[in-house]
Amino acid sequence: MDALNLINGQWRASSGRWLAVTNPATDEQLGRVTLSPAADVDQAVLAGQRAFEEWRRIPVTERVQCLFRFKQLLEEHFEEIARTVTQECGKTLVESRGELRRGIENVETACGMPLMMQGYNNEDIARGVDEHLFRQPLGVVAAITPFNFPAMIPLWFLPYAIASGNCFILKPSEQVPLTAVRLFELLAQTGLPAGVAQLVHGDKQTVDALLEHPGVQAISFVGSSTVAKSIYGRAAAQGKRAQCQGGAKNPVVILPDADLEMTTKIVADSAFGCAGQRCLATSVVITVGSEQERFASAICDAAASRRVGNGLESDIDMGPVISSESKRRIERLLEAGRNEGAVARAHGNGRKPSADGCGSFVAPTVLDHVAPGGTLARTEIFGPVLSLLRAASIDEAIHLINSGVHGNMACLFTSSGAAARRFRNECVVGNIGINVGVAAPMSFYPFSGWKESFFGDLHAQGRHAVEFYTQTKVVVERWHSTWSRKF
């Protein structure tokens, strides 16, 4: 299957540059994706600008009808889309279903746009003077999304952007373009006018064109911290709004009063789910006090028993990482950690080698005695690797968390309400979990992130999305009574 661009309602490719799309579990080529030059981006932006003049004037109650139809189509094709996610991304089918469900929830939330984008007003702020605030769309906006959630993350942005009256361009990861193609094929069936939602595939050349185009008013991005910071700076220099989600190094703190069995299961799912390739994956566990060795032994057993293989198979717990290049990068980081004194306590059985050695599989790994200031403790590995650290007290654990450069998520496992309250108050991160391993906000809350995990002011999802995709206009008006006597 060839992944084409959708520009002004037409599926096409014009560059002559293509990239293979590969199943990371089998190394099978699933298709090709077109890589778009700046000219394709320009055509999409111009089409969006033309469509915007009419789309912004369509009543919001009518705009959301396309989202109601889109939601229904996503439900009807739910299993097909989930299977596509698994084939090109590698995660298990259960994980793909969960991802798509979270994406659909954002479509549902954006259907409430008639209420969400309401302004406010005051009568008689001065004698005979009224003041109003209206929210109006920006124009053409774009999102650049990563490989790890090819269905969910585009739906963090698209529904809110178009429901609030903007025209939207998606540049998905070139590693996982097929899910985006299917989403836009279904979106086209909703009656959405040409140019309102467009799909432009590509690589860095395409991203640069979106950042530099004067017709793009806002940029949304999810990826590594280094790239997020660069895109945020470049977008700001061009006068664009930007929300750039970066990397993470998510810690979990386990106090002695935590339920060990429950905690182990939840942490294992967080660390090794989606092969560790999610921005809310647990990557560091800080044990406090007497349960350190018991937890280390329990999590090692959980890692060793994880069943790894093709995510389409029903008895599999974890799929591959996205590519052979990613696998090699993870292996280099593990070697760097061992050189700094880390000890592999568990290196899961992984996938039984096939005759041809296909697939980018990395076994679930637990590393003990990780240096707090070392490479593994600082670097986002983005793979099924869990590092164990030890702290003498909750004070030391919170200090370790706050001394890091990332601030995406931190979780605490405890039965103490006082400890939980202190943890959520003092940890300098944007998402907090108490006795949960993945503190993923619901669609009507912002996907928060602090420090080098986020560059911008307004996050994805919910009210933050509405504020990001609209600008406020304040009207102060006075009507003299003498004027009304003329009519």
Task: State percent of the chain over pLDDT 90.
Answer: 90
User: What 3-state class would DSSP assign to 308?
Assistant: strand
Instruction: Supply the pLDDT for residue 346.
Output: 79
Instruction: Supply the pLDDT for residue 397.
Output: 97
Mean predicted confidence (pLDDT) in 270-284: 96
With contact defined as beta carbons under 8 Å apart, do 100 and 74 qualify?
A: yes
With contact defined as beta carbons under 8 Å apart, do 25 and 311 qualify?
A: yes
Mean predicted confidence (pLDDT) in 132-149: 98
Predicted confidence (pLDDT) per residue in 285-327, tens digit: 999 987 788 999 999 999 999 999 999 998 999 999 999 999 9
Helices marked H in 322-367 — which ranges?
324-339
Q: What is the DSSP string of 126-173?
A: ETTEEEEEEEEE-SEEEEE--SS-TTTTHHHHHHHHHHTT-EEEEE--
The catalytically annotated residue of 89, 244, 274, 279 is 279
Q: Which two tokens stand for residue 131?
A: 């003041």
Instruction: Supply the pLDDT for residue 348.
Output: 60
Q: Which residues make beta-bridge pairs with 475?
A: 132
Q: Which residues contact 365 (CB under 8 A, 6 or more apart)?
A: 303, 334, 344, 346, 347, 348, 384, 385, 386
Confidence of residue 71 (pLDDT cuts 50, 70, 90): very high
How many angstroms separate the Cα of 276 from the Cα of each of 42, 181, 347, 452?
36, 25, 14, 19
With contact defined as beta carbons under 8 Å apart, do 360 and 318 qualify?
A: no
Predicted confidence (pLDDT) per residue in 81-110, tens digit: 999 999 999 999 999 999 999 999 999 999
Instruction: Supply the pLDDT for residue 351.
Output: 53
- Report CA 123 to chain centroid distance, whole Å: 42
Give the C-alpha separation, 250 to 284, whole Å.
Answer: 6
Q: Which two tokens stand for residue 138?
A: 């920006």
Q: Which residues contact 98 (CB under 8 A, 6 or more apart)?
A: none
Intra-chain end-to-end CA distance of the chain, in Å:
66
In the chain, the largest separation of any two C-alpha atoms, in whole Å, equals 91
With contact defined as beta carbons under 8 Å apart, do 272 and 364 qualify?
A: yes
Predicted confidence (pLDDT) per residue in 382-421, tens digit: 999 999 999 999 999 999 999 999 999 999 999 999 999 9
With contact defined as beta carbons under 8 Å apart, do 392 and 292 qualify?
A: no
Give the C-alpha separation, 15 to 27, whole Å.
Answer: 26
- Please identify which residue in the block is written with the tokens 């590969």: 22
Instruction: Tell whether the torsion through CA atoms of 386, 389, 395 and 401 is positive or negative.
Output: negative
Question: Taking all residues of the chain, what is their mean pLDDT, rounded to a whole number?
Answer: 95
What residue ranges in 269-384 does DSSP mark as E strands?
282-288, 343-347, 365-368
pLDDT over threshold 50, residue 136:
yes
User: Side chain identity at 120, as an amino acid letter?
Assistant: Y
172: nearest Cα among 279, 49, 21 = 21
With contact defined as beta carbons under 8 Å apart, do 167 and 49 qualify?
A: yes
Instruction: Supply the pLDDT for residue 375.
Output: 85
pLDDT over threshold 60, residue 350:
no
CA torsion angle for 73, 78, 84, 87 (degrees, to 10)?
A: 180
Q: Which two tokens stand for residue 89?
A: 């991304």
Phi, psi (5° rounding) for residue 406? -95, 160
User: What 3-state class would DSSP assign to 314?
Assistant: coil
Confidence of residue 355 (pLDDT cuts 50, 70, 90): very low
Asked about 89 being catalytic, the answer comes back as: no
Give the C-alpha separation, 272 to 301, whole Å.
Answer: 13
Q: How many CB atoms are located within 10 Å of the residue 215 CB?
A: 18
Give the C-alpha separation, 141 to 388, whole Å.
Answer: 42
Q: How many CB atoms are located within 10 Å of the residue 389 CB?
A: 21
